[in-house]
Structure 1
Amino acid sequence: MTAARNPGASPRARRSALYMPGANTRAMEKAQFLHADVLILDLEDAVAPEAKLTARRNVTKALRPGHYGHREVVVRINSLQSPWGHDDLAAIATLGADAVLLPKVESAEQIQDLAALMYRAGAPLRTRIWAMIETPVAMFNLREIAASHSLLETLVVGTSDLVKDLHARHTAGRHEVHTALSLCILAARSYQLSILDGVHLSLNDESGLRSACEQGRDMGFDGKTLIHPSQLAVANEVYGPSSIEIGEARRRIEAYEAAVLAGSGLTVLDGKLVEELHVQDAKRILNLAHAIDVLEEPLGQAVKADDG
């Protein structure tokens, strides 16, 4: 099945996607006031087997309307082949999560099966599917996965599992996963999906985190998955357009529109060629900046207004 996409849709801000262990109720409550664009309530890797049922109950309680303000809320369920996956989905399907994140996706059929189960469970149409791409097999099936279903919205690269399966070593430059990262970006952009980079494992390495974020941004990722709130500021800064970029985007649009009125399909601004493709990217930057402005309304006020 080829997914139906809307390439002209305004982007959502997904600079930072923070994993929140479902067993940790204190962390999930504090997340109301964190500047994360996306909260991933995790029932899988971050939860020990003996805590799975408790985590599921906690997440179902947290999925109440407006609890996290304007942030996107995603639930990572356990694999549908695990003892918990089907019950995870049944518990959260109707509760209004923005997306269900499926781990260890290696085929289009897994996405299609999840979509069918969501439909039967009564999930609202607004609840989308996100896919974890984290195994060597997945890399060979990316095209089929990306085109699998219209509910699929985002690819999330799981670099930790991938490095383990490759028998590779984590390096500062991430040379061990360059090929995989590039393949994932190509698949996402071919089917108008958003895409998030893998986590940075060290919590006391701000320079390494910044370097990884800059690398991912320059490769084309929309944002980065994170394992601790201390990583949010760097990811938000790097993946968000700067005031200089926003100003340049506006100037490119204005210069191009003036050129079109004068009968030309291109112009030169600051010694650089500006044509339609540059204007499209400038509009993407301005749409992203607007989406960030909406997310960054005072979090406490947003939560109080929604809870009230």
Structure 2
Amino acid sequence: MHARESEADLVILDLEDAVKPADKVAARAAAVEALGQDWRMPVAVRINSQHSEWHGEDMVAVMTSSPSAIVVPRAVGKEEVAFVRNQTGKPVLAMIETAKGLVAIHETAREASALIAGTNDLSADLHLPPGAGRRPLHMALQMIIIAARAAGIAAFDGVFNSLEDDEGFTSEAHEGRIHGFDGKSLIHPRQIPLCNAAFAPSEEEVARAERLVAAATGGAERFEGEMIERMHVETAQRILERR
């Protein structure tokens, strides 16, 4: 399936880790060509890090084309994110992939339009052993969500590497939603419907949210045996917006 034909909410054209050094020039040209075509969804470009030899030409490419946003890998601090945003005039999605990125996450979030958990690189940078799973990353993931919420921006969970493990993907996506992520990075079109189902509210959640919003009159009050107030109404409204 071509990315343009998918049901993805956002497509990211990758110039960074997915591309071999020998293929960087060709990948950049292909991305520029693709950006000139019609897409049904927003299209972002993940550029190479400012510390790489390809960063400058990537910046020229995105400045002379029309991506919806720029994805900055291994983001550390406000200067890098602000530079890319100011030079391109595009929203920046900052990937948090290193211990340094976690330490500087709040200043990064203030300059970004969204944060993305780069779970693979983050696991490596934190020296987690192979097969450690996500449990050792829980604190780091919560830091990403907290920084995003404090800055009023979106936060997206990292990728799930196993292409054939639908059950594992669904479990991890549900976990991401429970933790507070707004969505999840995907590496294959087959994961799209699983992700949409995991992050969409259930019929029961929607029905209860509708009842709560309809019943709320302002201030603290009783609703179906529970005490509710303004924050519960706002949570219910967010659920209804995700239908």
TM-score (normalised: structure 2): 0.94
Equivalent residues in 2 for 1:198-209, closer than 5 Å: 198-209=158-169
Shift of 1:169: 2.9
State how far apart, in whole Å, the 1-side matches of 2:85 and 2:194 are.
34
- In the alignment, is the contact (CA less than 8 A) between 1:213 and 1:235 conserved in 2? yes
Show structure 1 runs of 4+ deviating over 6 A. Answer: none
Q: Does 1:37 align with 2:9?
A: yes
CA gap of 1:222–1:171, structure 2 versus 1, over 3 A, is farther
What's the Cα RMSD here? 1.7
Shift of 1:277: 0.7
Deviations 1:4-30 (A, max 9, x none): xxxxxxxxxxxxxxxxxxxxxxx6xx1
- In the alignment, is the contact (CA less than 8 A) between 1:133 and 1:156 conserved in 2? yes
Shift of 1:117: 2.4
Q: Among 225, 228, 234, which residue is 2:188 paired with?
A: 228
Partner of 2:226: 272
SS of residue matched to 2:13: strand
Letter in 2 for 1:141: A
Letter in 2 for 1:129: V
- In the alignment, is the contact (CA less than 8 A) between 2:73 and 2:95 conserved in 1? yes
State how far apart, in whole Å, the 2-side matches of 1:282 and 1:74 are.
30
Deviations 1:63-95 (A, max 9, x none): 136x221x2211101112211112112112243
State how far apart, in whole Å, the 2-side matches of 1:252 and 1:96 are.
42
Deviations 1:244-269 (A, max 9, x none): 2222221111000xx34xxxx23333
Partner of 2:31: 59
Q: Among 92, 111, 136, which residue is 2:81 paired with?
A: 111
- In the alignment, is the contact (CA less than 8 A) between 1:255 and 1:267 conserved in 2? no
Partner of 1:193: 153
State how far apart, in whole Å, the 1-side matches of 2:3 and 2:84 are.
27
Partner of 1:244: 204
- In the alignment, is the contact (CA less than 8 A) between 1:136 and 1:166 conserved in 2? yes
Number of aligned residue pairs: give it.
243
CA gap of 1:268–1:94, structure 2 versus 1, over 3 A, is farther
State how far apart, in whole Å, the 1-side matches of 2:86 and 2:235 are.
35
Q: Among 95, 101, 106, which residue is 2:71 paired with?
A: 101
Q: Among 169, 174, 178, which residue is 1:214 paired with?
A: 174
Shift of 1:107: 1.6
Shift of 1:286: 2.0
State how far apart, in whole Å, the 1-side matches of 2:231 and 2:130 are.
36
State how far apart, in whole Å, the 1-side matches of 2:130 and 2:199 are.
22
Mark the runs of 5 or more structure 1 residues left unpaired by the alignment: 1-26, 290-308
State how far apart, in whole Å, the 2-side matches of 1:232 and 1:49 are.
29
Partner of 1:145: 108
- In the alignment, is the contact (CA less than 8 A) between 1:170 and 1:176 conserved in 2? no
Letter in 2 for 1:166: L
Partner of 1:281: 235
Mark the runs of 5 or more structure 2 residues left unpaired by the alignment: none
- In the alignment, is the contact (CA less than 8 A) between 1:43 and 1:52 conserved in 2? yes
Letter in 2 for 1:269: F
Q: Among 161, 167, 177, which residue is 2:121 paired with?
A: 161
SS of residue matched to 1:37: coil
Partner of 1:131: 94
Partner of 2:50: 80
Letter in 1 for 2:194: V
Shift of 1:272: 2.2
State how far apart, in whole Å, the 1-side matches of 2:61 and 2:120 are.
28
- Between the aligned residues of both structures, percent identity stands at 38
TM-score (normalised: structure 1): 0.75
